């Protein structure tokens, strides 16, 4: 781990059920939080259907660009679980039944129940390392810079736990949130833009939410240098205080 | 609207706040449900940061490929709201202050408060049509096959309402969900694969969820032909009944 290095990641969510709206994804937000907490910059997410060409294209585009690619979904025993084959094709490697996974499956499945379909879960691309986890005996796998995980959130989370210590991480992002209270975005936008321009190492955002007919705004100052973040936050607070004072005076 | 036509869509979610995990996206699932309900096949989603090059690349890749592209986020008054400029660049058109939007903004903002930042919300790419809505006086816009919407869910939803009647739609997907009860995926995977192979016009998926140490599986049969869906559902039910009977007999 080099303190000054930037480590990036992307996610490929594989699943018709997400695109149809039937299942609401819970993995993106979880992986995003995880990445932020360990100092990995999540930089892009793609949701693709259960179509091999689409999975291959997304994985190959993203693995060339980012330090890590996490995939979720499509590693079960049914015919629509095609992720392992797609990943093997993306890497141009073979795929076959992994004896170690067969052993793992046999700890929970009786030998007479280990049918053809269940054996599919043991198909692992050549050169991949298994991502064993505490929830499911069917592992994920890690090949090159791509980490292939289940779509079921509890299993996906256990797989993240299993790889967390092995991931290279960068400097953690420091994120400070400042409540703008009742001050509308349009009143502080110019001042905020000036602060953002003066602090190019910071990423400063303004996030409105809308409820009961009113906007509630939050300003977020992000950066990897604690002094720069503190300086940015101080300027934002000073700007908001000046706007409040001007409003009271008006 | 041609009944046999396939209408597709993609979403580009624009926002550092989603990638950092700070905000959990609620728009993808909403737009997915909307698309399914009206007969549009949502085919891909990308989440990109507040970086103009990334927005331009994603929008141009997707608008060439799908009937519609919906974007969410980045159309407010602050410096990090760069979607309108990115879309203008993606289309190679100019962008300037739209007098109609200024009028709209003035219905809620006093003339003396219509500062430079708020006027940014009136910047609309040339050739775009406004997407007015009942929640916010700042409109979205529609240019080519791209519909640019707010990131705040209540406003985004109002913008979807505003365009819904104008979208071309295809045949609605019929989605039938069959509870597999306690039958594990590995027990029905082979039978399900046979059914899927016999009915290529159907998309048949198996979706496990995991809670309290147990899997609960649902089989979903999707298709646009009601007779084919009914035939597929009947076969799945017959298969599950046979598995249950075999299990009882064992």
Q: What are B21-60's pLDDT values in tens digits?
A: 999 999 999 999 999 999 999 999 999 999 999 999 999 9
Chain B contact present for A104, CB below 8 A: no
Give the pLDDT confidence score for residue B210 in this predicted structure.
Answer: 78
Q: Are A138 and A152 in contact (CB under 8 A)?
A: no
Partners of residue A41 in chain B, C-beta under 8 Å: 19
Q: How many CB atoms lie within 10 A of CB A126?
A: 12
How large is the ipTM? 0.92
Minimal Cβ distance to A190: which of B25, B43, B115? B115
Question: What is the rounded distance in angstroms from the CA atom of residue A32 to the CA atom of residue A55?
Answer: 20
Which residues lie below 8 Å from residue A106, measured CB to CB, with a gap of 6+? A114
Which residues lie below 8 Å from residue A48, measured CB to CB, with a gap of 6+? A12, A13, A14, A54, A55, A58, B44
**B67: part of which helix (H) or strand (E)?**
none
Return residues 49-78 of A near B (CB < 8 Å). Answer: 49-50, 54, 76-78
Q: Are A220 and B18 in contact (CB under 8 A)?
A: no
Q: pLDDT tens digit string along B135-177?
A: 888 999 999 999 999 999 999 999 999 999 999 999 999 999 9
Query: How buried is residue B123: exposed, middle or buried, by Cβ count under 10 Å (0-12/13-18/19+)?
Result: middle
Partners of residue A29 in chain B, C-beta under 8 Å: 21, 24-25
The sign of the dihedral angle between the CA atoms of B121, B125, B126, B129 is negative
Name which of A120-129, B16-25, B181-190 the model is least confident about.
B181-190
Higher pLDDT: B247 or A185? It is A185
Minimal Cβ distance to A175: which of B20, B197, B222? B20
DSSP per-residue letters across B183-197: --HHHHHHHHHHHHH
Q: Cα-Cα-Cα-Cα dihedral of A101, A103, A109, A110, to 10°?
A: 150
pLDDT tens digits in sequence order for chain A, 250 residues long: 344 689 999 999 999 999 999 999 999 999 999 999 999 999 999 999 999 999 999 999 999 999 999 999 999 999 999 999 999 999 999 999 999 999 999 999 999 999 999 999 999 999 999 999 998 889 999 999 999 999 999 999 999 999 999 999 999 999 999 999 889 899 999 999 999 999 999 999 999 887 777 778 999 999 999 999 999 999 999 999 999 998 776 5
pTM: 0.93
Give the pLDDT confidence score for residue A2 in this predicted structure.
Answer: 41
């Amino acid at each position: 781990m080099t303190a000054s290095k930037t480590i990036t990641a992307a996610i490929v969510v594989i699943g018709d059920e997400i695109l149809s709206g039937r299942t609401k994804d819970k993995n993106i937000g979880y992986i995003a939080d995880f990445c932020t907490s360990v100092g990995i910059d999540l930089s892009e997410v793609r949701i693709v259907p259960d179509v091999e060409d689409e999975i291959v294209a997304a994985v190959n585009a993203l693995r060339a660009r980012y330090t890590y690619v996490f995939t979720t979904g499509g590693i079960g025993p049914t015919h629509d679980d095609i992720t392992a084959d797609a990943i093997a094709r993306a890497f141009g490697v073979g795929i076959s039944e992994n004896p170690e996974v067969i052993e793992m499956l046999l700890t929970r499945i009786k030998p007479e129940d280990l049918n053809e379909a269940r054996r599919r879960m043991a198909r692992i691309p050549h050169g991949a390392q298994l991502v064993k986890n505490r929830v499911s005996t069917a592992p994920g796998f890690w090949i090159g810079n791509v980490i292939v995980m289940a779509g079921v959130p509890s299993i996906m989370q256990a797989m993240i736990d299993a790889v967390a210590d092995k991931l290279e991480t960068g400097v953690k992002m420091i994120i400070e949130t400042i409540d703008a209270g009742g001050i509308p975005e349009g009143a502080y936008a110019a001042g905020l833009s000036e602060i953002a321009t003066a602090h190019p190492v910071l990423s400063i955002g303004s996030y409105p939410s809308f409820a009961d007919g009113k906007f509630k705004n939050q300003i977020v100052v992000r950066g990897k240098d604690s002094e720069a973040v503190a300086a940015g936050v101080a300027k934002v607070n000073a700007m908001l205080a000046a706007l409040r004072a001007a409003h009271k005076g008006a």
